[in-house]
Homo-oligomer: A and B are copies of this chain.
Amino acid sequence: MFFASDNSGPVAPQVLDALARANEGHAMGYGDDPLSQQVAEDLRALFEAPEAAVYLVPTGTAANALSLACLCPPYATVFCSPAAHIHEDECNAPEFYTGGAKLTLVGDSDRMTPEALRASIAGEETRGVHGPLRGPVSITQLTERGNVYSMEELRALTGVAKEFGLPVHLDGARFANAAVKLGVTPAEMSWKAGVDICVFGGTKNGLMGVEAVLIFDPAARSSSGAVAQNRLAAEFELRRKRGALLFSKHRYLAAQMAAYLEGDLWRDLAGRANARCDQLVQGLKGLDVTLRTEQHANLLFFDLPRRVHRELHAAGAVYSMWDSLDGPDDSIATARLVCDWSLPPEAVSEFTDLLARSL
């Protein structure tokens, strides 16, 4: 009954196999090896973006912060939800990598609305050099509260950004879970929907620690072995190195991503995680539980009396509390449960059975 995080599960066995296969003989470092080159091609093919620049980094925070640093000068501001990972969980990494840009929080929920986004953008930059200038819009799909934007919602948000000529960053730490839920292709959920730089997460979906960043600017594509000519791509490469995020033994990042792409493993793993979350939602039906996540993929927030939370924890269920566990027995507190690819169906049944008995 381990629902603490999707970074808590093991790595998919295909990934370990790929690491072992990549571990033969010598290879040039820093991405100049054949496997790294091949994976970049495979990512371009998957995203139907033959001219995209493609980079692998080890953490989601790295993927986000580097992307924003390329899009946002230090005297500008990023528009994002107050629940965004870039605001809540990265210890000022975006501020660090951008050289001191600001984050403007849009609305008061995890899901930005076009109206709130438009009002927020319109409210900035009426003060000339007293600034800040308007910078990129950052969208998290799926959100940190577990909601999946529909394609219509996604396009509406990027549409507002385009009204103001602003670029769009997609924090796709759980891109796979969202795309599987929506039944869309990576291209459909990224550049075809108006995204300029997309993070295609792997770490939360069965890899050890690899995220791909795709810069869709036509002709951004970097040649290997030298600094890219395209401004965005060049900035990404130089900022990645300067951020101490360029792996010398790059083939081991590439091997993980190669396994992730082969036979659409990323879809398979995300499908498993989503299925467990569906099972969880089914199990909660008929019970006196208030769901806080409306369009779930593999995360679920819901409310229970603290007495029940305490009993579940005591019985061995591992999950995060969004409110403190301390409080009267009959007071309500919100929990966050995350299903990862490796979670067995039995763990979910055990949890919902336990919960049913406890209520």
Query: Once the chains bind, are A8 and B27 in contact (CB under 8 Å)?
Result: yes
Stretch at the interface among A149-157, A241-249, A293-301, A302-310: A241-249
Contacts of A23 in B (CB 8 A): 10-11, 13, 16
Knowing A74-B92, A203-B249, A252-B208 are in contact, say whether A100-B100 is a contact too (CB < 8 A). Answer: yes
* Residues of chain B with a CB closer than 8 A to A203's CB: 248-249
A244-B241 contact in complex given A11-B252, A91-B130, C-beta closer than 8 Å:
no
Are A242 and B74 closer than 8 Å at their CB atoms? Answer: yes
Contact of A314 with B by CB under 8 A: no
Residues of B near A113 (CB, < 8 A) are none
- The docked-state distance in angstroms from the alpha carbon of A73 to that of B16 is 40
Q: State which residues 118-153 of A face B: CB under 8 Å.
A: 127-133
Measured CB to CB, the nearest residue on chain B to A253 is B209
- Tell me which residues from 50 to 84 in chain A have a Cβ below 8 Å from any Cβ of chain B: 57-62, 64-66, 73-77
Is A24 an interface position by the 8 A CB rule? yes
A247 → chain B closest CB, angstroms? 5
Check if A93 sits within 8 Å of B242, measured CB to CB.
yes
Task: Determine the distance from Cα of A330 to Cα of B281 in the docked complex, in whole angstroms.
Answer: 53
Q: Which residues of B contact A73 (CB under 8 A)?
A: 235, 238
Known: A9-B26, A92-B101, A238-B131. A245 touches B248 (CB 8 A): no
State whether B29 touches A5 (Cβ < 8 A). Answer: yes
Q: Are B249 and A209 in contact (CB under 8 A)?
A: yes
Asked if A110 CB lies within 8 Å of chain B CBs, one says: no
Are A100 and B92 neighbours in the complex by a CB distance under 8 Å?
yes
Contact B96 A242 (CB under 8 A): yes
A9 CA to B29 CA, complexed, in Å: 9
Does the CB pair B29–A8 fall under 8 Å? yes
Contact: A29 with B58, CB < 8 Å? no
State A8–B30 Cα separation when bound (angstroms). 10
Q: B244 to A245, Cβ gap below 8 A?
A: yes
Q: Are A226 and B128 in contact (CB under 8 A)?
A: yes
Interchain CA distance A256-B156 in the complex, whole Å:
45
Minimum distance in angstroms from A10 CB to a CB of chain B: 5
Q: How far is the CB of A217 from chain B (nearest CB, A)?
A: 18
Residues A91 and B132 in contact in the complex (CB < 8 Å), given A28-B8, A238-B75: yes
Q: Which of B99, B128, B246 contacts A129 (CB 8 A)?
A: B246
Segment 198-237 of A: residues with Cβ below 8 Å from B: 203-204, 208-209, 225-227, 235, 237
Asked if B58 contacts A242 (CB within 8 A), the reply is no
Question: Are B131 and A242 neighbours in the complex by a CB distance under 8 Å?
Answer: yes
Tell me whether A196 is interfacial, beta carbon within 8 Å.
no
A131 B244 Cβ-Cβ under 8 A:
no
Query: Nearest chain-B residue to A3 (Cβ)?
Result: B26
Would you call A99 and B102 a contact (CB within 8 A)?
no
Residue on B nearest A89 in the bound complex, by CB:
B130
A92 to B241, CA, bound (A): 9
In the A-B complex, the 10 residue pairs with the smallest Cβ-Cβ separation, listed nearest first, are A91-B131, A7-B248, A62-B244, A95-B100, A61-B244, A2-B26, A75-B238, A91-B241, A99-B99, A96-B100
Binding site for B on A (CB under 8 A): 2, 4-5, 7-11, 13, 16, 19-20, 23-30, 57-62, 64-66, 73-77, 88-93, 95-103, 105, 127-133, 203-204, 208-209, 225-227, 235, 237-249, 252, 318, 340, 342
Can you name 10 A-B pairs with beta carbons within 8 Å? A7-B248, A9-B26, A59-B245, A75-B238, A89-B130, A90-B244, A92-B102, A203-B249, A204-B248, A243-B243
